[in-house]
Amino acid sequence: MFQKRTDLALEARELWQESAQRTSRLSGVKAVKTRQEGYPVTRVDILDQRGEEALGKPVGSYLTIDLTTFWQRKADFFERAVRVVGGQLKALLPAEGSVLVIGLGNAAMTPDAVGPLTLDSVLITRHLIAAMPRQFAGFRPVAVQRTGVLGTTGVESAEAVRGMVEQVKPGLVIAVDALASRRMGRVCATVQLSDTGIVPGSGVGNHRAALNAETLGVPVIALGVPTVVDAATLAADLLEESGVEQVDEDKLRENGTFMVTTRDIDQQVRDLAKVVGYGINWALQDLEIEEINALLS
């Protein structure tokens, strides 16, 4: 059977339901839908090994924020998006401790630039607190790292992050990366947060060493934005939706190395990277969005 590719736990659950041809409760998995700041939020908790095996993802919590209406640009759309991302992230964070924010990906390749671009909107405070502890006493220490990619650095992202963690000794790592979705409707319209870490490059099938609590020795929160769809997965869905009963899996696999994205990916990635960066600030610092604007300007 052709294996459709997705990094989203929400879609992995959908695929299980489709393959099982039922909508009954999946053992070891709990899903809850809510709404915050006008945006739908789906929380998928993988509770045990049964859930792991069914969805192909480790035990943990996965929160998917649907930002489809963000692009309608209605009143306060940016501020509301920042608050929903920041609010969901804050619920996963410890109350205090220093933080290292990692921007994974290739800044020279737009669909893979979410991580590096996000760091442009993150307030970096670790050095300020060390230099002026009294003036910045109310801030949480934050440092950032752009890892680059193996092809341009010769260093695995996991190796670079491990070295930084050993030196900086953060209490928490937040890793931001681009993901792959199963559906075009979720490309640049979704943010996934999880407390299970991340595997750099997994979105395009280029799996590298994992960044998680086991490999780094500190908790790792992952934020991902789907920017591409695997061409074979997209084709399989379109064929099924058009009523084709027999899908040629060999033909699909021949095109399995192609990834599809939107024509205005440049603007969408820039906008969502800013939302994620501001959301991180909103979760980590006791600041309003206007104050974040002033400090970043």
Q: How far is CA 175 from CA 75, 195, 199, in A?
A: 30, 10, 10
The pLDDT score that the predictor gives to residue 21 is: 61
Asked if residue 132 lies in contact with residue 189, where contact means CB atoms within 8 angstroms, the answer is no
pLDDT of 129-141, one tens digit each?
989 989 888 899 9
- Please choose, from the candidates 296, 294, 104, the residue with its C-alpha nearest in 3D space to the C-alpha of residue 210: 104
Percent of the chain with pLDDT over 90: 66
Residues in the chain, overall count: 297
> Is residue 198 classed exposed, middle or buried when 0-12, 13-18 and 19+ CB atoms within 10 A define those classes?
buried
The pLDDT score that the predictor gives to residue 239 is: 82
Asked if residue 109 lies in contact with residue 234, where contact means CB atoms within 8 angstroms, the answer is no
- In the beta sheet, which residues pair with residue 99? 142, 172
Cα dihedral across residues 7, 205, 28, 237: positive or negative: positive
To the nearest 10°, report the CA torsion of 133, 145, 158, 168. Answer: -20
Exposure string over 154-174, b if 16+ CB within 10 A, otherwise e: eebbbebbbebbeeeebebbb
The pLDDT score that the predictor gives to residue 212 is: 92
Angstrom distance (rounded) from CA 260 to CA 179 = 12
From 34-43, 66-75, 113-122, 229-238, the region with the lowest mean pLDDT:
229-238
Q: What is the residue whose two structure tokens read 């309608």?
A: 72
Q: Mean pLDDT across the stretch 70-88?
A: 95
pTM: 0.91
Angstrom distance (rounded) from CA 60 to CA 52 = 9
Angstrom distance (rounded) from CA 107 to CA 71 = 23
